[in-house]
Amino acid sequence: MLTDAQLLQMSVTLVLAVLVFTIAFSLPPKVSATALILLIPFQPIDTKFASANVLLTIVVFIALLIKGIRVRVPLLTQILILFFAYMISWGLSHPATLGQHFVYILALVSAFFVLWITYDLTMRLDSIREMVNIFVIMNILVVIYSVVQLASGSGEKIVFFGIEEFHMNHTRSDRRLTGPFGSAGIAAEYTVIMLFMILYQVLWTSNVWRRYGLICLGAVNILFLIATGNRGGFLVMIGAGLMFLWMFRKMLGPVRAIGIAATAVVFVSIATIVATTYTDFDLLFTRLADTEIESGIPDTRSVVWPVAWQAIQEKPILGHGPRLRFDGEEGGARYKNHLYILYPHNLYLFLLFTVGVVGLIAYIIFLVTPLVRCWSATRRSISESYEVGFARVGIVFIVIVFVDGIKIDFARFVLVDYWHFIFALIGLLIATCDRIKMMDHSSPSSRLDPAIKLT
């Protein structure tokens, strides 16, 4: 049963959905799609059935189709393979659990829509720089959100209108920043990805003041990365940084590459001093120093990884169903015919448990495709341009996602807003590769990915 506050929450969500549909149907697709992308990290209403962003995304997509907009749908084959893998796992779940699993699949469909909307918008804009700037603006909004969290202190929660269901994500009581995604590990991964997107923008920005502004934005993101206290995210940043410098070695030259590395070290040092002196969120280097490895497994994963692996053995091919944890289980609720385990904190174990080997292979195919497309685009093009360079940094993005998957399972239902970010990023990368193909070969629009349109 829904509480009075939850009923109010759902009512507001439905009203918001109607309002968003009206706006999306009335305004140009560029406006509604841009607004939807900027909203990705934030949960205007976070219901027991998912973030309101799931419903808003579906509403915007349907509005575009009803309006007669030809929405291009890249990666259709890969998405259908992934979708069918989830549907098979869902169909074989116990009837008592179908409803909970279906909500997860609905959220996954909304992520597909985000990918298509982002791709379509990128292809409609004059250049991909405009799309990257939208991601940068999104990051500025995330920075503002995180500043509020830093200022509120550890363990605090900001509630709106005195209603518990309308709130900002609380800051963890263990002095680790979570950001708008509600997870320290996810906040770290997002920050690392955005750091390299910002760095790339710095390299291609001629306006001095804009460059300084981007550098300051990058420095603040480093502060937030340290404030998350996420060891894996920090190490991934170092590894990805070396990869970035290697991939752009010809463009940068040794002097600029050393300068960027030295500047990063200075920023990390300053950010550490600020985090330690002026905030509650200063655990990163303490946690790094205290890290222990037990039988080849980090101490914080020494329990959950073996438990997950043992549970996987029961249904290794198709898994236990798309959703790992059900509503209320965080508070102790238990469901018959559903195997309860702690989150494994590993994307690959998470996928094996939920959708099995079939689902894991489908997911890897889906994530490898933009990696291969970006690599192919950089190898095929004979000239260095903003688009080609962004495809190159796109390789860094996907590698970050793959490596970071070892320590965080971003496919959790409660992290659906972060799925939207990853899928939007993939949409941007695929559009970048398609634009490079068009520039190199003067490809006609008929060679682009198929489009769907309601008549």
- Evaluate whether 400 touches 240 at the Cβ level (below 8 Å): yes
Answer whether residue 77 is part of any domain: yes
Answer whether residue 180 is part of any domain: yes
Q: What is the DSSP letter of 165?
A: T
Residue 43's pLDDT band, with cuts at 50, 70 and 90, is confident
The parent domain of residue 308 ranges over 1-124+304-455
Q: What is the pLDDT of residue 443?
A: 47
Answer whether residue 297 is part of any domain: no
Instruction: Mark whether 284 and 391 lie in a shared domain.
Output: no
- Among 263, 291, 319, where does a domain finish? 291
Instruction: Mark whether 285 and 326 lie in a shared domain.
Output: no
Instruction: Mark whether 58 and 199 lie in a shared domain.
Output: no
Q: Is the pLDDT of residue 46 over 90?
A: no
Q: Is the pLDDT of residue 18 over 90?
A: no
Answer whether residue 129 is part of any domain: no
Closest by CA position to 41, among listed 183, 230, 197, 159: 183
Instruction: Mark whether 169 and 35 lie in a shared domain.
Output: no
Q: pLDDT tens, 201-243?
A: 999 998 999 999 999 999 999 999 999 999 999 999 999 999 9
Q: pLDDT tens, 231-285?
A: 999 999 999 999 999 999 988 999 999 999 999 999 999 999 998 888 888 888 8
Instruction: Mark whether 55 and 100 lie in a shared domain.
Output: yes
Residue 188's pLDDT band, with cuts at 50, 70 and 90, is very high
The DSSP annotation for 142-168 comes to HHHHHHHHHHH-TT---BSTT-TTSBP
Answer whether residue 422 is part of any domain: yes
Instruction: Mark whether 318 and 203 lie in a shared domain.
Output: no
pTM of structure: 0.92
Instruction: Mark whether 113 and 259 lie in a shared domain.
Output: no
- Among 264, 291, 318, where does a domain finish? 291
Mean pLDDT of 145-150: 88
119's CB contacts (< 8 A; 6+ apart) are: 72, 73, 74, 427, 428, 430, 431, 449
Q: What percent of the chain has pLDDT over 90?
A: 63
Q: pLDDT tens, 385-394?
A: 999 999 999 9
Q: Is the pLDDT of residue 136 over 50?
A: yes
331's CB contacts (< 8 A; 6+ apart) are: none
Instruction: Mark whether 179 and 278 lie in a shared domain.
Output: yes
Instruction: Mark whether 25 and 119 lie in a shared domain.
Output: yes
Instruction: Mark whether 248 and 386 lie in a shared domain.
Output: no
Instruction: Mark whether 334 and 446 lie in a shared domain.
Output: yes
Answer whether residue 87 is part of any domain: yes
Residue 449's pLDDT band, with cuts at 50, 70 and 90, is low
Instruction: Mark whether 43 and 177 lie in a shared domain.
Output: no
- Evaluate whether 198 touches 209 at the Cβ level (below 8 Å): no
Q: Is the pLDDT of residue 37 over 70?
A: yes
Measured distance CA(65)–CA(25) in Å, rounded: 9
Q: What is the pLDDT of residue 441?
A: 64
Q: Is the pLDDT of residue 79 over 80?
A: yes
- Among 291, 313, 339, where does a domain finish? 291
Q: What is the dihedral of CA 115, 368, 240, 354, to 10 degrees?
A: 80
Q: Which neighbouring-strand residues pair with 299?
A: none
Residue with tokens 């509480």: 3
Q: pLDDT tens, 400-416?
A: 999 999 999 999 998 99
Q: Which neighbouring-strand residues pair with 298?
A: 293
Closest by CA position to 436, among listed 370, 371, 391, 375: 391
Answer whether residue 86 is part of any domain: yes
**Domain tally, the chain:** 2
Answer whether residue 299 is part of any domain: no
